[in-house]
Amino acid sequence: MGKGLRVIESFSDEQPRQTATEAARRTGLTRTAARRYLVSLVHYGYAATDGKHYWLLPAVLRLGRSYLESARLPRLAQPFLQRLSMQIGETANLGVLDGHEIVYLSRSNSPRVLSIGFHAGARLPAHVVSPGYAILSTFDEAALEVWIAAHDFAKFTPQTIAAAEGFRAAVEATRRLGYAFVDQYIDAGLCGLAVPLTDRRARCVGAISTTFQAQAWPREAALTRLLPALQDAAGAIRAVL
């Protein structure tokens, strides 16, 4: 099963269609093994093929949806996120770190007609969204150095922190302050605010965050009006973990 999942993970934005040979190269499997798993994916309706290339079908989303619907953390957090969203008038999210990406597990839409934020299941590089800084601020120095050394600091906007030194300093600042504020790191005009989410044993299990327009919430206003609500929500969730 593990090797089959590696084949699924080998598909990406850069390579949405691939041959058995390409899948083998990306997964470290033999061509025969990669083709066997690809054929199985086709058989069960998770992929399609034209006889040479393979590509994933929407049915593969059921795998992630099963986790989101069964996992305890998103279910526990959802009512608190809903209350937070109504309180601040913006989208509220629960995110976790998966390797070098933030995965958004749960979202509560804002009362606005047009809400801003990331849907459940979205994955983004950790260095461009506030939950990444919030979660990594709970790492010890050794673990943080290992993570930074292996990370690809791609630049999304002129404001993106795309150097290891700057990122390390930003994480250390987050650790001191207890919150992360990102200013247009992923998209012009969008800011993010996040606080670490810890359980009753003080172990970090994710981050509570919100994404908003920079024009609507200048930094000081966001820290004055939004941050206390995020901190209260994290504290309330902590009590039930």
Span 1-30, average pLDDT: 87
φ and ψ at 84, to 5 degrees? -60, -45
107-159 per-position pLDDT tens digit: 887 666 455 667 778 889 999 999 999 999 999 999 999 999 999 999 999 99
Is residue 19 pLDDT above 90, yes or no?
Answer: yes
What is the reported pLDDT for 4? 77
213-224 per-position pLDDT tens digit: 999 999 999 999
Cα separation, 209 vs 15, whole angstroms: 31
Span 8-37, average pLDDT: 91
Closest C-alpha among 201, 181, 72, 107 to residue 137: 181
Question: What's the pTM?
Answer: 0.76
- Residue labelled with tokens 């992923």: 186
For residues 45 and 55, is the Cβ–Cβ distance under 8 A?
no
Cα separation, 102 vs 182, whole angstroms: 14
45-95 per-position pLDDT tens digit: 999 999 999 999 988 877 776 666 557 888 889 999 999 999 999 999 999
